[in-house]
Amino acid sequence: MKTLYKNCTLIDGTGNEPINTSFTVEDGRIIEIGDNLKADKEIDLDGKYIMPGLINSHVHITMEPIGDPFVLIMNESDAKAAIRGVKNLKKQLKSGTTYFRDLGASNGVDIDLRNAVNEGLIEGAEFKCARSVVTMTGGHGWPIGREADGVDETRKAAREQLKKGSDLVKIMATGGVMTTGVEPGSPQLSMEEMKAAVEEAHKAGKKTASHAQGTQGIKNAILAGIDSIEHGLILDEEAVDMMYENNTYLVPTLVAPYVIVEKGVEAGIKKDSYEKAVSIMESHIKSFKMSYEKGVKIAMGTDAGTPFNTHDMAWMELKLMIEYGMKPMDAIVSSTRNSAELLDILDDYGTIEKGKFADFLILDENPLENIETLSKINTVYKKGVKVK
């Protein structure tokens, strides 16, 4: 059955100015966009705004956003982690994220959740996932990691993730905020170690993402050929130039340290995580601004699952991007088209264009004027089906 959605203001995700138009959907895909269209059923969207579903490039779907999420990960069974994942998948979808990328989970629980969504066993946003992160012994994220030291071992660690069904390989270039005893600024896996893992992913036609916060580690990851720098907390001009020249994506995850600082130790956040987040706040914002001004490609990611960074807060990331100087249209393109490009799904997702899947949001207000309207989305459609 073909459905006509008529008289809406369409923000198509390509960066084009909004237009007043109509479109039809059949078998989950956008069939036509324009005026005077005919269909079996009509939905009048007079006064409403339509945009593509959000694509979150950095999520931990099995992680519970409490003060210390790693404590749960290390003490709970995989079955319990999967149940949390099922709950969070629903939350992501109903808050307007119709596709995402999971960047680290224990024991392959993410793989099973991904497959369960694809098989229609559970309701949720579709997603790509990295499985275990490749990290040095004791390195950042080791509770959800495959520890590896030396070039041969990181190569093998990457091959293992691919063998077990990962869609990409996640590599830890530096320390981080949430792992006790490691500093966000310090390099971890070497350039050579990362390069071996990147080679394996690329040979298999898969992408790579690097948790990279400090300047040297970021540069090491870029030189290793990484596809995206996650966080990028402490960038200098040279690092920004390198990202620009190598077409490396930045996924800034602005909301992650923001909520840690906002909630504080009283809320149950570990003292050292809180102090690390406070110390990098200023340079994080500066790094984001420098990258945006230079024209580095930016994709939206929240790092959902870190403390109080809930699975329905993508709107907050867009709000911060705009607060820190990004044009509202660019924030929307980052969160739709650019994320789709980074995830290698642009042929089918990320914009509202003829032939693509009908993943879209109905909004009561113009998001270009009030981005917070994304925190109260009217309706969410996933492949042409109303899910909220």
Task: Point out which residues bind Zn ion (CB under 5 A).
Answer: 103, 303
| Residue 305 beta carbon to Zn ion: minimum distance, rounded to whole angstroms | 7
Nearest Cα to 256, choosing from 295, 225, 211, 201? 211
Is 355:29 a contact under the CB 8 Å cutoff? yes
- DSSP assignments along 303-322, one per residue: -BTBTT--TT-HHHHHHHHH
Q: Which is nearer to Zn ion, 11 or 255 (CB)?
A: 255
Torsion angle of the four alpha carbons 283, 285, 286, 287, in this order, in degrees rounded to the nearest 10: 80
Nearest Cα to 74, choosing from 166, 179, 211, 183? 179
| Residue 90 beta carbon to Zn ion: minimum distance, rounded to whole angstroms | 20
Nearest Cα to 130, choosing from 109, 116, 149, 147? 109
CA-to-CA dists, residue 133 to 93, 229, 348, angstroms: 24, 14, 27
The overall longest dimension of the chain from CA atoms, in Å, is 63
| Residue 44 beta carbon to Zn ion: minimum distance, rounded to whole angstroms | 41
CA-to-CA dists, residue 333 to 86, 167, 189, 315, angstroms: 28, 23, 32, 13
User: What distance in Å separates the CA atoms of residue 198 and residue 158, rounded to the nearest whole number?
Assistant: 8
| Residue 259 beta carbon to Zn ion: minimum distance, rounded to whole angstroms | 14
Q: Which is nearer to Zn ion, 58 or 206 (CB)?
A: 58
Q: Which residue is nearest to Zn ion (CB)?
A: 303
Q: Which is nearer to Zn ion, 193 or 303 (CB)?
A: 303
Q: Which is nearer to Zn ion, 300 or 362 (CB)?
A: 300
| Residue 230 beta carbon to Zn ion: minimum distance, rounded to whole angstroms | 6
| Residue 303 beta carbon to Zn ion: minimum distance, rounded to whole angstroms | 4
Q: Which is nearer to Zn ion, 61 or 345 (CB)?
A: 61
Is 267:221 a contact under the CB 8 Å cutoff? no
Is 324:285 a contact under the CB 8 Å cutoff? yes
Q: Which is nearer to Zn ion, 63 or 362 (CB)?
A: 63
Q: Which is nearer to Zn ion, 103 or 371 (CB)?
A: 103
| Residue 104 beta carbon to Zn ion: minimum distance, rounded to whole angstroms | 6
